[in-house]
Amino acid sequence: MHQVIVSPQHKKYVAVRPGSRGGMQLPREKYVEVRETVSAGSPLPAWFIDATKKVWGLRLDSGSASNTVLVRPETALNYSRATWEINKGCNFACDMCVVWQRPFAGLPMGEKIRLLEMVRDTGVLWFQFTGGEPTIDPDFIESYRTAYDMGMMVEVLTNGSRLDHGPTLETLTDLPPHKVTVSLYGASAETFEALTRTRGAYRRVLRGLRAATAAGLPLELSLIVTEHNAHEVDSMRALADSLTSRTRYSPICLRLTTVTEAHSTSRQPSTSTGKRCSADVPPDTASTTWTRSAAQLCARSDARTPSIS
Ligand code: SF4
């Protein structure tokens, strides 16, 4: 299984490591050198072994490169990011969201593979699974594995309620994501369940978060603040900080006129009375969002990317 991915990234070339935030930029000639080394099954260049040790503390084998380094080819489109709503439905029914009204539905597995191949062939390196709730999809694990094996840096945007599900947790532990981003809707069962309108949601999410923390998954919590939980912001922050060093506030409403669906990136802004705004997307469309900006690499991944010359 690959330890490092070497990939074009718009006008740059980078080396990144699944499950880690650091990375490095490579000049094209170094990218080509690694690509040819891996393709020939030759020993890795000494400079590459040294650099991976410096950035990630890795001790790469100086033997065959093909076991440890996955090289993504240059592509005509040279895209950078994609987000995929693998399933339209959600197991919560948040007050400010409309996603829960959609059916639990996604593509058949064969079509999922075709979509992932298409994403890979456009050069996408940073790939997000979202929904609805992505982990409820019956093909989530297989799809996640496929994206990982294709050499994508995977992020899962989730409500966290199924992170303790054995096969899901095992997969995320064995094939580490770049990031698992969980939306947090309160710091008490009463508040959490009032917002998510789902009995047992708080207990399930806490169980999922604790399992993810214990497994060492790279967790980031988004605090979703609305009229239901504004009085608990300090407690939410304390709860988040007790689980991860990475907490951020999501720009959901403190004023209560405009709120957005929280962890799905195909956002469907709505008012609290259910009126839709002009930015709406059709509620019955699972979508893939493409972004070409390589400049987002460092900003979004927090990657420190020392340059190799
Ligand atoms: S906000 Fe997120 S968790 Fe809540 S219903 Fe919408 S998609 Fe589901």
Determine the number of helices (DSSP H) and then strands (DSSP E) in the chain: 9, 11
Q: Which helix (H) or strand (E) is 202 found in, with range?
A: helix 201-214
pLDDT at 263: 54
Q: What pLDDT, in 10s, does the model give residues 142-196? A: 999 999 999 999 999 999 999 999 999 999 999 999 999 999 999 999 999 999 9
Cα gap 159→133, rounded to integer Å: 7
State which of 58-72, 152-166, 292-306 shows the largest mean pLDDT: 152-166
Q: Is the CB of 100 under 6 A from ligand 1?
A: yes
Please give the number of the atom of ligand 1 that sits closest to the Cα of 91: 8
Whole-model pTM: value is 0.82
Please give the number of the atom of ligand 1 that sits closest to the Cα of 100: 5
Q: Is the CB of 94 under 6 A from ligand 1?
A: yes
Pairing, β 81-85 against β 126-130 = parallel
Please give the number of the atom of ligand 1 that sits closest to the Cα of 132: 7
Answer CATH for 81-291 from 3.20.20.70, 3.40.50.720, 3.40.50.150, 3.40.50.10320: 3.20.20.70
Q: What pLDDT, in 10s, does the model give residues 221-266? A: 999 988 889 899 999 999 999 988 776 666 455 444 333 444 544 3
Q: How far is the CA of 188 from the centre of ligand 1 (A)?
A: 18
Cα gap 279→258, rounded to integer Å: 12
Residue, of 267 and 115, whose pLDDT is higher:
115
Q: How far is the CA of 12 from the centre of ligand 1 (A)?
A: 36
Q: Where are the domains of the chain?
A: 4-73, 81-291
Ligand 1 mutation target, pool 86, 136, 159, 252, most atoms within 8 A of CB: 159
pLDDT at 276: 26
**Percent of the chain topping pLDDT 70:** 78
Please give the number of the atom of ligand 1 that sits closest to the Cα of 99: 6
pLDDT at 258: 37
What's the average model confidence in pLDDT over 183-212?
96
Query: Please, what is the average pLDDT of the chain?
Result: 82
Q: What is the dihedral of CA 164, 170, 176, 182, to 10 degrees?
A: -10
Lowest mean pLDDT among 76-80, 137-141, 280-284: 280-284
Q: How far is the CA of 213 from the centre of ligand 1 (A)?
A: 22
pLDDT at 248: 65
Tell me the residue ranges of DSSP E strands in the chain: 4-9, 12-16, 23-26, 69-71, 81-85, 126-130, 153-158, 179-184, 219-223, 247-249, 288-291
Position 2 confidence tier, pLDDT thresholds 50, 70, 90: very high
pLDDT at 252: 56
Q: How far is the CA of 97 from the centre of ligand 1 (A)?
A: 6
What's the average model confidence in pLDDT over 109-113?
97
pLDDT at 101: 85
Please give the number of the atom of ligand 1 that sits closest to the Cα of 131: 7
